[in-house]
């Protein structure tokens, strides 16, 4: 696996990873995924109560309308499963992206190194490579407090995705928080080890933001006390 210039082997180019164009494409793809899910699934099941003056005789059969409750419940479960699956996938990609940036930011600079390791993520996790100065500088900027891969911006993106998938319904937050944790665990499995410290801090930030979403009154009270 090569870090030739600012590129990693196996067809992965870190220069693309750090360009605004690539970042925008990543967000656009994720947003498109969220939008498609919302379009396919809707934001929920809307029930319209029939009025007491419904004209039953106007129906062709002359019988009252019936509601297929089992079909509605099945659709709701399917929607929920698709929402959590989408969030798990998004979280895994974001956590791996942030971890990659963190490792490159802390890498030694010098002559680009070569490796025959076929597993890019585990290779990155070891940190046994060097990169050019420009790549390292960009990675350091990206993981800074106000950077693209910083704790705040990364945790905000995760929560924003979750709210979009849930139609901003706090009652769905716990399931999506569980999905976040599953996605994080999957990222660790892919990485082959615990994720870097910045990702662990992001995990804590996401948990807090989910709890604030689920308990807005408690969050407001805490903000006042602070």
Residues 50-65 have pLDDT tens digits of 344 444 344 455 555 6
pLDDT of residue 114 exceeding 70, the answer is no
Reply yes or no on whether the pLDDT at 199 is more than 80: yes
User: What are the DSSP E strand ranges found in the chain?
Assistant: 108-109, 130-131
CA separation for the pair 223, 96 (Å, rounded): 32
Percent of the chain residues topping a pLDDT of 90: 48
Asked whether residue 110 is domain-assigned, the answer is yes
Model pLDDT, residue 29: 55
38 CB burial (10 A radius; 0-12, 13-18, 19+):
middle
Nearest to 4 by CA among 206, 40, 12, 162: 12
Tens-place pLDDT, residues 172-185? 999 999 999 999 99
Choice between 110 and 197, residue whose per-residue pLDDT is larger: 197
52 domain residue, yes or no: no
Residues of the domain holding 90:
14-38+65-225
How many domains, in total, are found in the chain? 1
**Is the pLDDT higher at 78 or at 212?**
212
| Domain-embedded: residue 54 | no
Which range, 5-14, 132-141, 211-220, has the best average confidence (pLDDT)? 132-141
CA distance 158 to 196: 18
**Is it the case that residue 148 has pLDDT exceeding 50?**
yes
pLDDT at 145: 95
User: Does the residue 167 lie in any domain?
Assistant: yes
Query: What is the predicted pLDDT for the residue at 164?
Result: 94
Could you read off the pLDDT of 62-82 as tens digits, one per residue?
Answer: 555 677 767 776 676 676 778
In a domain, 59, yes or no: no
Q: Is residue 92 part of a domain?
A: yes
What is the radius of gyration, based on Cα positions, of the chain?
Answer: 23
> Is 55 contained in some domain?
no
């Amino acid at each position: 696996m090569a870090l030739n210039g600012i590129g990693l082997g196996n067809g992965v180019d870190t220069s693309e990873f750090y360009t605004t164009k690539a970042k925008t494409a990543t967000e656009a793809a994720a947003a498109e995924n969220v939008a498609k899910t919302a379009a396919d699934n809707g934001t929920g099941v809307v029930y319209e109560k029939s009025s007491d003056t419904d004209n039953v005789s106007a129906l062709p059969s002359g019988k009252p309308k019936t509601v297929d409750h089992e079909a509605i419940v099945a659709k709701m479960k399917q929607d929920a499963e698709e929402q959590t699956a989408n969030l798990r996938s998004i979280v895994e990609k974001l956590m791996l992206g942030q971890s990659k940036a963190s490792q490159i930011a802390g890498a030694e600079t010098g002559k680009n190194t070569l490796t025959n390791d076929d597993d890019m993520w585990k290779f990155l996790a070891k940190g046994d490579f060097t990169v050019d100065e420009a790549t390292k500088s960009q990675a350091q900027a990206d993981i800074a407090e106000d950077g693209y891969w910083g704790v705040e911006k990364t945790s905000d993106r995760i929560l924003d995705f979750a709210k979009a998938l849930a139609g901003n319904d706090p009652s769905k937050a716990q399931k999506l928080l569980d999905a976040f944790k599953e996605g994080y665990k999957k990222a660790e499995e892919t990485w082959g080890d615990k994720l870097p410290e910045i990702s662990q801090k992001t995990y804590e930030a996401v948990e807090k933001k989910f709890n604030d979403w689920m308990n807005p009154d408690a969050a407001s009270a805490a903000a006042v006390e602070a």
